[in-house]
Amino acid sequence: MSDNVQSAQPEKSGALHETIEIVKTIVYALLIALVLRVIFFQPFTIPSASMEPNLYEGDYVIVSKYSYGYSKHSIPFSPPLFEGRILAQQPARGDIVVFKLPSDGRTDYIKRVIGLPGDRVQMRAGLLYVNDKLVAREPLSPSKTMVMGFERDIARYQERLDTGRTFATQDMGPDGDLDNTDVFVVPDGHYFMMGDNRDNSSDSRVPPAAMGVGMVPADHLVGKAQIILLSWKPEASIFKPWTWVLDARPSRFFKVLK
Q: What is the pLDDT of residues 168-215, one digit of tens each?
A: 999 988 888 999 999 999 999 999 999 999 999 999 999 999 999 999
Buried residues in 203-218 as b, exposed as e (16+ CB within 10 A): bbbbeeeeebbbbbbb
User: Which DSSP string corresponds to 11-58?
Assistant: HHHHHHHHHHHHHHHHHHHHHHHHHHHHHTEEEEE--SSTTTTTS-TT
Q: Is the pLDDT of residue 152 over 90?
A: no
Report the share of the chain in percent with pLDDT over 90: 71
Q: Is the pLDDT of residue 45 over 70?
A: yes
Mean pLDDT of the 107-130 span? 97
Least reliable range by pLDDT among 2-16, 164-178, 195-209, 215-229: 2-16
Q: Measuring CA to CA, which residue among 45, 47, 42 is closest to residue 74?
A: 42
Distance CA 86, CA 20 (A): 37
Q: 3-state DSSP call for residue 111?
A: strand
pLDDT of amino acid 2: 44
* Contact between residue 192 and residue 122 where contact means Cβ atoms under 8 Å apart: no
* Contact between residue 4 and residue 31 where contact means Cβ atoms under 8 Å apart: no
Mean pLDDT of the 30-51 span? 82
Q: Which of 111, 201, 224, 231 is catalytic?
A: 111
Distance CA 27, CA 17 (A): 15
Mean pLDDT of the 20-29 span? 80
C-alpha distances in Å from residue 113, one per residue of 9, 110, 196: 65, 10, 10
pLDDT of amino acid 31: 74
pLDDT of amino acid 5: 46
Q: 3-state DSSP call for residue 204?
A: coil
Q: 3-state DSSP call for residue 2?
A: helix
Least reliable range by pLDDT among 10-14, 18-22, 181-185: 10-14
Distance CA 78, CA 94 (A): 26
Strand order in the sheet with 136-147: 136-147, 150-160, 166-171
pLDDT of amino acid 116: 98
C-alpha distances in Å from residue 69, one per residue of 34, 88, 109: 17, 4, 18
| Segment 54-105, tens digit of pLDDT | 999 999 999 999 999 999 998 888 989 899 999 999 999 999 999 999 999 9
pLDDT of amino acid 148: 67
* Contact between residue 195 and residue 112 where contact means Cβ atoms under 8 Å apart: yes
Determine whether 240 is an active site residue. Answer: no
pLDDT of amino acid 20: 82
More confident call, 11 vs 213: 213
Q: Which of 50, 74, 201, 204 is catalytic?
A: 50
- The overall average pLDDT reported for the chain is 90
Distance CA 128, CA 186 (A): 15
Strand partners, 248: 232
Determine whether 72 is an active site residue. Answer: no
